[in-house]
């Protein structure tokens, strides 16, 4: 089914889910034979209005109209209006509402045969997808925009795209990758002497990344360069960018002990916010001023201000995460660890619920039709689909590619390659075949294992990215990703989704019952989840993680044997070791050598080759 048709049918139910929002009784006679650009311009105000939104009929009819053939000039004019609409919805934290228009607009831009509009449309889709946690999908669109800019030799255009890619990695919490992108911007513009907006933003963004990477001195260096690059035009073009730059200066200076210099930037933040007030700017100003007050010992004033900012942030959900992080740090510093723990739990719950909501929204956009299912029905349905999977290859769920992208997006913070899920899927399928399962069933187990960590989207980035072992509280929050993954994959009866839900929920259940969720052990753990657990543990051991270096393939096998019978199914470990040793020998790989990820990836590539089983 074409994606746009799917979006046309599903998105209004997701975004306009009350009768008032649907406005089902609205007069559908608005749509006539006037040019598309005229209809869009007339509808723009209604599409932006939260109180009296556009009707269901208008929403769907406009998308249908965008898919019709149009003259190039008419398509180009309409495309510019939709880009403006998407930008305004994005600025209002309504990116999910903008996504169907952004995707439809890409096809409209192609019909206009305008490379600039195509590039800008890819950029719009990339920004919207990043804002809704589809990091992999965002990168795909930005990569296409980069290709178009490079084909024209547009260095400044390429620098803008690299800025957007860096922003996408920032959203995911991958600050090292983001910093590399911003450095690429600076390298591209190295020969340009005049001030350039993308260089100005790259300097500021790089300072932000370096603060999170605890590289304060270098962060201050780039913050100063950003200030030197700023012009009056840049300030007018994006005042909020200037607010964030000065906020970052305050954070860096306070971290460096330069409290008096930080005060100058606090004053500048307040001045900018007064000149260009907005909810986001107001919250940024409050947290910046509170950070300074905490630094000079005015704890009561600072904490009061943060409480007020937190009240505001709950009304602007996109700012809530950063605000809660500021409150947690402040309360820890003020000597209120119990209060900080309460805030940490709120942060975790916010991220958990937001992540589940985002995944479900994307699934709805992929034409998933939710269906109710009682607790009594579930075991019967699971048994039935497992039997069916032995008989015939099930069709791919329509939302599967979306779920794969979202799983990559969730896992990129712990595995910068983004391929952890793919590797675990390949290893799980190979183990299933080695264990003697039918090829079709092995294939489905492998596909389900690809998205086993989709629930990691629910874990706060500051916990996932820490380069050390977790404490008990942090470990509890990480463990919740299995329940989150199961919830993200609920409300469907497709065989692959049911298997994937089992895998997501139980891949950290231990053979001896000591894992999570607890009170499940041995054969009570679904077979697909037990197989995924072996593959997941092995992949984690042979690849670098933020808190430790990788070990050799042979060392990893020894570790699997050590935990066989406690953490892992011992019979599956025997099968897995036999399979790995045989495949390594076939590929000429010495498992005992410190060969790194390249050799392991060579083995994975061999496992993913078509061997004629299906």
Predicted confidence at residue 159, as pLDDT, reads: 94
Residue 552: count of CB within 10 angstroms of its CB:
19
Domain boundaries, the chain: 1-131, 379-607
Contact 159, 198 (CB under 8 A): yes
Q: Is the pTM of this model over 0.75?
A: no
The series of mean pLDDT values per 10 residues for the chain, 614 residues long, is: 31 38 43 76 78 69 81 88 86 78 88 90 89 81 91 92 89 81 93 91 92 89 94 86 90 89 91 83 88 86 84 70 72 68 63 56 46 38 42 58 68 70 86 85 84 76 64 72 77 73 84 79 84 88 71 84 87 88 77 63 64 46
**Calpha distance 54→207 (Å, rounded):** 41
Given this model, what pLDDT does residue 149 score? 92
Q: Which residue is it, tokens 């007050």?
A: 293
- Say if residues 428 and 535 touch (Cβ distance below 8 Å): yes
Q: How far apart are CA 478 and CA 458, in angstroms?
A: 8
Q: What number of other Cβ atoms are within 10 A of residue 225's Cβ?
A: 18
CA 579, CA 431: separation in Å to the nearest integer? 7
Q: Residue 452: its pLDDT value, please? A: 81
User: What secondary structure letter does DSSP report for 134?
Assistant: -
Contact by Cβ (8 Å): 530, 522: no
Look up the CATH number of domain 379-607: 1.10.3210.10
The token pair at 69 is 């053939």
Three-state SS at 253: helix
Strand partners, 545: 548
Helices (H) and strands (E) in the chain, counts: 31, 0
The residues, ordered by sequence, that sit 6+ positions from 565 with a Cβ below 8 Å of its Cβ are 511, 512
Q: d(Cα 201, Cα 226) in Å, to the nearest integer?
A: 7
User: Looking at residue 183, what is its pLDDT?
Assistant: 94
Q: Which helix (H) or strand (E) holds 224?
A: helix 216-229
CA distances from 489 to 9, 149, 167, 450, 529 (A): 21, 38, 28, 13, 15
- Residue partners of 312: CB distance under 8 A and separation at least 6: 279, 282, 283, 286, 319
Residue-level pLDDT at 120: 93
Q: How many Å apart are CA 129 and CA 206, to the nearest integer?
A: 22
What's the confidence (pLDDT) of residue 163? 92
State residue 439's pLDDT score. Answer: 81
Round the CA-based radius of gyration of the chain to a whole number and report it: 26
Q: What is the dihedral of CA 169, 170, 173, 178, to 10 degrees?
A: 60
Report in angstroms the alpha-carbon separations of 500 from 72, 489, 497, 508, 539: 45, 8, 5, 14, 18
* Beta bridge pairs of residue 564: 568
Give the pLDDT score at 222: 95
CA 478 to chain centre: 16
What confidence score (pLDDT) does residue 317 get?
62
Q: Running DSSP on this structure, what letter comes out for residue 568?
A: B
Give the model's pLDDT for residue 475.
74
Instruction: Please identify which residue in the block is written with the tokens 């330069």.
Output: 258
SS (H, E, C) 483-502: HHHHHHCCCCCCHHHHHHHH
Comparing CA positions, the residue from 60, 51, 75 lying closest to residue 6 is 60
**Exposed/middle/buried for residue 105 (C-beta within 10 Å: 0-12, 13-18, 19+):** buried
Give the CA-trace dihedral at 281, 287, 291, 293, to 10 degrees. Answer: 90
Q: What is the DSSP letter of 376?
A: T
Instruction: Tell me the C-alpha distance between 19 and 22, whole Å.
Output: 5
Tokens 């670098």 belong to: 544
């Amino acid at each position: 089914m074409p994606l746009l048709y799917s979006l046309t049918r599903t998105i209004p139910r997701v975004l306009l889910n009350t009768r008032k929002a649907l406005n089902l009784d609205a007069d559908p006679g608005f749509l006539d034979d006037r040019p598309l650009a005229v209809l869009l311009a007339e509808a723009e105000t209604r599409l932006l209005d939260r109180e009296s939104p556009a009707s269901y009929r208008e929403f769907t009819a406009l998308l249908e109209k965008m898919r019709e053939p149009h003259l190039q000039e008419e398509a180009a004019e309409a495309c510019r209006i939709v880009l403006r609409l998407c930008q305004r919805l994005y600025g209002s934290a309504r990116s999910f509402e903008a996504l169907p228009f952004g995707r439809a607009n890409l096809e409209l831009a192609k019909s206009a045969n305008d490379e600039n509009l195509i590039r800008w449309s890819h950029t719009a889709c990339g920004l919207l997808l990043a804002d809704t946690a589809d990091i992999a999908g965002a990168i795909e669109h930005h990569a296409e925009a980069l290709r178009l800019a490079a084909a024209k030799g547009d260095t400044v255009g390429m620098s803008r795209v690299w800025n957007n890619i860096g922003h996408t990695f920032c959203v995911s919490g991958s600050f090292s990758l983001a910093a590399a992108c911003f450095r690429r911007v600076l390298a591209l513009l190295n020969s340009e002497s005049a001030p350039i907006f993308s260089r100005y933003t790259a300097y500021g963004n790089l300072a932000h990344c370096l603060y999170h990477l605890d590289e304060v001195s270098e962060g201050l260096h780039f913050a100063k360069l950003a200030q030197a690059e700023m012009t009056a035009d840049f300030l007018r073009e994006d005042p909020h960018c200037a607010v964030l730059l000065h906020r970052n200066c305050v954070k860096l200076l306070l971290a460096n002990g330069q409290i008096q210099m930080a005060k100058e930037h606090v004053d500048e933040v307040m001045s900018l916010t007064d000149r260009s007030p907005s909810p986001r700017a107001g919250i940024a100003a409050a947290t910046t001023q509170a950070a300074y007050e905490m630094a000079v010992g005015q704890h009561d004033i600072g904490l009061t201000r943060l409480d007020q900012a937190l009240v505001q942030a709950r009304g602007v959900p996109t700012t809530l995460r950063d605000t809660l992080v500021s409150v947690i740090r402040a309360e820890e510093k003020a000597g209120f660890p119990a209060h900080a723990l309460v805030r940490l739990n709120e942060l975790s719950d916010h991220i958990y619920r937001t992540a589940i909501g985002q995944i479900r929204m994307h699934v709805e956009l992929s034409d998933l039709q939710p269906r109710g299912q009682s607790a009594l029905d579930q075991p019967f349905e699971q048994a039935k689909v497992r039997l069916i999977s032995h008989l015939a290859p099930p069709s791919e769920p329509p939302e599967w590619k979306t779920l794969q992208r979202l799983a990559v997006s969730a896992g990129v913070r712990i595995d910068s390659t983004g391929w952890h899920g793919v590797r675990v899927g390949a290893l799980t399928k190979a183990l299933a075949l080695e264990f003697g399962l039918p090829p079709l069933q092995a294939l489905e187990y492998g596909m389900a294992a690809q998205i086993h960590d989709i629930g990691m989207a629910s874990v706060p980035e500051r916990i996932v990215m820490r380069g050390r072992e977790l404490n008990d509280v942090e470990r509890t929050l990480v463990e919740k990703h299995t329940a989150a993954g199961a919830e993200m994959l609920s409300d469907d009866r497709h065989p692959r989704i049911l298997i994937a839900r089992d895998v997501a929920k139980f891949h950290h259940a231990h053979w001896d019952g000591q894992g999570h969720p607890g009170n499940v052990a041995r054969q009570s753990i679904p077979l697909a989840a037990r197989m995924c657990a072996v593959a997941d543990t092995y992949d984690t051991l042979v690849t670098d993680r933020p808190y430790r270096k990788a070990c050799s393939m042979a060392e990893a096998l020894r570790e699997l044997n050590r935990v066989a019978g406690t953490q892992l199914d011992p019979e599956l470990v025997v099968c897995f070791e036999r399979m790995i040793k045989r495949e390594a020998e076939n590929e000429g790989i010495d498992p005992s050598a410190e060969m790194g990820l390249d050799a392991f990836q060579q083995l994975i590539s061999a496992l993913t080759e078509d061997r004629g089983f299906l």
